Structure 1
Amino acid sequence: MPTQLEKAKTFRALHERPGAFIIPNPWDAGTARLLAAMGFEALTTTSLGLANSLGSATVSLGQILDNCRAIAEATDLPVNADLENCGAHEPKTAAQAIRLAAEAGAVGGSIEDATGERDNPIYDFNLAVERVQAAVEAARTLPFPFMLTARAENLLHGRTDLDDTIRRLQAFEAVGADVLYAPGLHDLATIRTVISAVNKPFNLVMGFADPTLTVPQLAAAGVKRISVGGAMERHALAAFLNAAREMKDGGAFTYVRELAPVKEVREAFAKGAAKS
């Protein structure tokens, strides 16, 4: 098993090489091992996928960290942690989540400017920047190069002012964020507009983008990292619901024709267990 320092160096190198790379989102140790067996080079957690798997609308920071630890221990791949708003409003308190994510085995993690509150969904600009700066400072105290991702969440909360989103990303970059992220971008032209306004590696999530876009197109637009958020877990959940409806409403079981091969799954799990 590589050391955390080795994983961190590998993860940073992925952001520095030419082109774009896919960083899929497992939601537990089993899905992490399946993705590793398929040859993906890094993984990132999904708070939405975790919440769905737990049958909950939300997850706590403690649950997020426990899930991160399970995924980080499941394979020898670098793991990035989706930390939501880092569990606190106050900058220095929120920044402690970066240290905790590192202790859970992550070599990267995100802080977002969404408050988690319906009536006030986005932090004021200055507070959002202070939170990112505190997270950057926490990351720099770690004994390895932790990749800090700063997220501007406007587009997911009905705030369609693209100029404000760009302004936030530029400010996050200025205070030291390693990766920038604005979930909710959909079309290639808008993606290019945002990326051309910043200089740090950009993460695009395909859970909201035009699904016909390809890796070569996104790479040409300047995207460095491509994640999928909770999309794979939701796709799996859709298959589960379809199977359940077929049994409940039709008394049929044709879904068994499309099961994951037991041999492939067991081999992936055995390979992952041997490395952990």
Structure 2
Amino acid sequence: MTGSPLPRAVTFRDLHRPGDPLLLPNAWDYGSAALLAAHGFPAIGTTSLGVAAVYGRPDAAGATRAETIELAAAMRDLGVLVTVDIEGGFSDDPAEVSDLVAALAALDVAGVNLEDGRPDGTLRPIGLQQRIIAAALGHGVFVNARTDTCWLRTGDTLERVRAYGHADGVFVPGLTGLREIEAVVASTPLPLNVLHQPDGPAMGRLAAVGVARVSTGSLPYRAALRGALAAVLAVRGEGAPVPLPTYGQIADLLPKA
């Protein structure tokens, strides 16, 4: 399917400026998205971990397709650009992924994240992921091709980034070394998205090596959980600092696939 990009997608694309990166906060429900919108963020993403946790589903297991669409529909009236984490597209069938992205486009979604990591810790074969990315294109939605080489510690990052060159952008979560980031930037004409890490490079340093987008991922959700636990423990008279829970700690609380 081919077609002209929707105005929202064009605007979203324009926010990806190498050297002046878009800070993309990630919401997990309508309330968190509304709060972020009220504080002036022009674009908001969703976090698959947060959505999975809200609905009591496992993350990254293809279990939240309906819930992801429901949240996208709810965020439609917030007056901000919305990009949706669709994990691996909730299917290995390119036609089904195409139908999903078309449905999200009808909800005025401006972008999607489409990852190659699988629940068993492997990566999709490159050829299949290329076909899935191609199926997601053509709906007027910015397709951010995520590779989990760093996240899962498997595969060749530069090989995957180059293989996904037909996407609109590329996302490498877990990539934190400035030299490695600079090498990825140099390897592709696509805007590079990295995941903010509390102990990683600051925005200014990421901008200096050409990053175009910095996502917060599950960090806001995990910080919210820390705040909620600290508040309740304080009522119980326990005032000790509560550490930020890791992704793995939250994922371990969720039902298994």
TM-score (norm. length: structure 2): 0.83
Structure 1 match to 2:177: 187
Q: Does residue 130 in structure 1 map to residue 131 in structure 2?
A: yes
Structure 2 match to 1:231: 219
For residues 189-238 of structure 1, what are the alpha-carbon distances to aligned partners after superposition, in whole Å with 9 as ceiling and x for unaligned?
221122221110111111xx363522221111111011111110100101
Counting aligned pairs with the same residue, the percent is 30
Q: Does residue 177 in structure 1 map to residue 159 in structure 2?
A: no
Match of 1:213 among 184, 201, 222: 201
For residues 100-143 of structure 1, what are the alpha-carbon distances to aligned partners after superposition, in whole Å with 9 as ceiling and x for unaligned?
22123311112111233x2x63111221222212222xxx1x3x
Which consecutive residues of structure 1, in runs of 5 or more, have no partner in the other structure? 256-276
Q: Does residue 204 in structure 1 map to residue 194 in structure 2?
A: yes
Q: How many residues align?
A: 235
Structure 2 match to 1:242: 230
Structure 1 match to 2:245: none
The alpha carbon displacement at 1:17 in A equals 7.7
Displaced runs of 4+ in structure 1, greater than 4 A? none
Structure 2 match to 1:152: 147
Contact 2:47 2:85 in 1 (8 A): yes
Match of 1:65 among 57, 69, 80: 69
Matches within 5 A, 1:4-153: 5-16=6-17, 19-58=20-59, 59-73=63-77, 75-116=78-119, 118=120, 121-136=122-137, 140=138, 142=139, 145-153=140-148
Point out the more displaced range, 57-66 or 222-231.
57-66
The alpha carbon displacement at 1:30 in A equals 1.8
SS in 2 for 1:180: strand
Cα distance in 2 between the residues matched to 1:251 and 1:81:
38
Which consecutive residues of structure 2, in runs of 5 or more, have no partner in the other structure? 243-257
The alpha carbon displacement at 1:156 in A equals 1.8
Cα distance in 2 between the residues matched to 1:210 and 1:70:
29
What is the root-mean-square deviation of aligned Cα atoms in Å? Answer: 2.4
Contact 1:83 1:111 in 2 (8 A): yes
Letter in 1 for 2:208: A
The alpha carbon displacement at 1:243 in A equals 2.2
Cα distance in 2 between the residues matched to 1:220 and 1:251:
43
For residues 53-86 of structure 1, what are the alpha-carbon distances to aligned partners after superposition, in whole Å with 9 as ceiling and x for unaligned?
334333421111111221232x111111111011
SS in 1 for 2:96: helix
Contact 1:185 1:191 in 2 (8 A): yes
Greater helix proportion: 1
TM-score (norm. length: structure 1): 0.77
The alpha carbon displacement at 1:91 in A equals 2.1
Structure 2 match to 1:266: none
SS in 1 for 2:16: helix
Letter in 1 for 2:179: A
Which has the greater radius of gyration?
1
Contact 1:187 1:210 in 2 (8 A): no
Distance 1:56 1:98, change over 3 A: same
